[in-house]
Amino acid sequence: MEVSVYQRITENNDIITDFWTDNLLELILRKDNLNKAYKKVKSNKGKGGIDGMQVGGLLPCLKENQSEMIQQIRKGKYKPNPVRRVEIPKEEKGRVRKLGIPTVVDRLIQQAVTQELTPLFEPQFFREQLRVQTGKEPARRIKSL
């Protein structure tokens, strides 16, 4: 019998699932979490998305639109913008790396979500499962097996 993803994630852990499933959105939208996400996006700099807004324009945009954006997210009506497609040439002649660059507002929201979900789900993955982990090079992951 195959174990569902939900069962694997919630079995044998210290997380009270009713709490985080009922309150996850509020955790993501907490002011301190959004501030931390803003600082992370700002420190990463990066180019603007399809709307042309650069990271420097994020704070004024948030001051003007933050409460409306949060209400849209709470109501399930927030729609991320399409990503801006760019091609980065690779060292191999004629080859390119295709990237999708989200708007800085969408990056902020993605970062806020990541900051809350990572601590919840990271410990739940099977130890032997190879996966990309921030700050852990492949050789170190393989050694841990």
Q: What is the pLDDT of residue 11?
A: 56
**Weakest mean pLDDT among 22-26, 85-89, 126-130:** 126-130
pLDDT band at 46 (very low <50, low <70, confident <90, very high): confident
Cβ atoms 111, 46 nearer than 8 A:
no
Calculate helix-pair angle for 104-121, 58-74, nearest 10 degrees. Answer: 60
- Rounded to a whole number of angstroms, the CA Rg of the chain reads 19
Given a cut of 50, whether residue 31 has pLDDT beyond it is: yes
The CA-atom distances, in angstroms, between 124 and each of 101, 118, 121 are 29, 10, 5
Say what percent of the chain tops pLDDT 90. Answer: 56
Nearest to 37 by CA among 66, 79, 64, 72: 66
| Residue 107 tokens, joined | 């990056």
Distance CA 33, CA 113 (A): 9
Distance CA 40, CA 103 (A): 14
Q: What is the pLDDT of residue 104?
A: 97
Q: Is 39 helix (H, G, I), strand (E, B) or coil?
A: helix
Backbone phi, then psi, for 88, in 5-degree steps?
Answer: -105, 125
Q: Is 86 helix (H, G, I), strand (E, B) or coil?
A: strand
Tell me the average pLDDT of the chain: 81
